[in-house]
Amino acid sequence: MKEEFLPENRFGKIYRFEEVTSTMDVCEDLIKSGVCKGIVVAESQTSGRGRNAKKWVSVANGNIYLSFFDELNVGFIPQRCAVASFLAADSFVKEPDKVKIKWPNDILINSRKVSGIIAKILDFGGKRFYVCGIGVNVFMPEDPDGNFVWKPAAVSEFAEVSSGEVLNKLVEKIDYAFSAQSSEIFELYSEKIRWMIGKNIVFSQDLIKNEKGRIVGFADDFSVVEIETGNGTEELSALSVLSLD
């Protein structure tokens, strides 16, 4: 493990590893060892994970596997993560409207997934912490099983970039997103998510049965997506979005 100090960053240190089970696991271990905040980056993960217990392919190919943590002192955690990842990707993709936030916090380029996010709250030692993970495809990922729900995209398809450049930009945008006022984050997230309203959707609540409908709106805090189906309008907070049209 290497420890580095990053200038002008609210998380202080960045901890670098060649291989870990999951950067989320390392964050939790650091919290339990008495560290209050930090950023963890690994070249590869043996058990990388995404939302809804999905696997995140994490071989050592130059892609970004990053998690960070701090005491719980802000709101809109998932939205802040989405804004940070969106701004990082968008800074390299110069074509307007190519980069989008897919509810709740995936990042798409040309309707293909370039970044995924996971966030949780951890109670330890009488304190509450947020722990967030962000994966970014700098280069096209390889999956021997071909089990991608969304076809992948890579930042390098749209710009000549290095892993270091994307990592530095992502850390910069995380710092911004977790320092900004909630109203600023809410406004930006709201602007970037509303493209989904009116879209036809195929989704699953249990990863077994697929359902169809049309997105008609979101809850005021964007914790719930409203989908019009044959049975009326459903308000759902946990689902996998399989396709949008």
Q: Rounded mean pLDDT of 20-33?
A: 96
Domains parsed from the chain with CATH numbers: 2-193 (3.30.930.10), 197-244 (2.30.30.100)
Tokens of 156: 């390098």
How far is C-alpha 181 from the geometric centre of its chain's CA atoms? 20
Cis before 78? omega within 30: no
The whole-angstrom separation of Cα 185 and Cα 30 is 28
Q: For residue range 153-169, what is the model confidence (pLDDT) as tens digits?
A: 999 999 999 999 999 99
How far is C-alpha 132 from the geometric centre of its chain's CA atoms? 8
Q: Which of 15-19, 48-52, 96-100, 152-156 has the lowest mean pLDDT?
A: 48-52
Q: State whether the Cα torsion 134-139-144-150 is positive or negative.
A: positive
Extract the runs of DSSP E, i.e. beta strands, from 10-53: 13-20, 38-45
Q: Rounded mean pLDDT of 175-187?
A: 96
The radius of gyration of the chain's CA atoms, rounded to the nearest angstrom, is 18
The whole-angstrom separation of Cα 44 and Cα 10 is 25
The whole-angstrom separation of Cα 86 and Cα 105 is 9
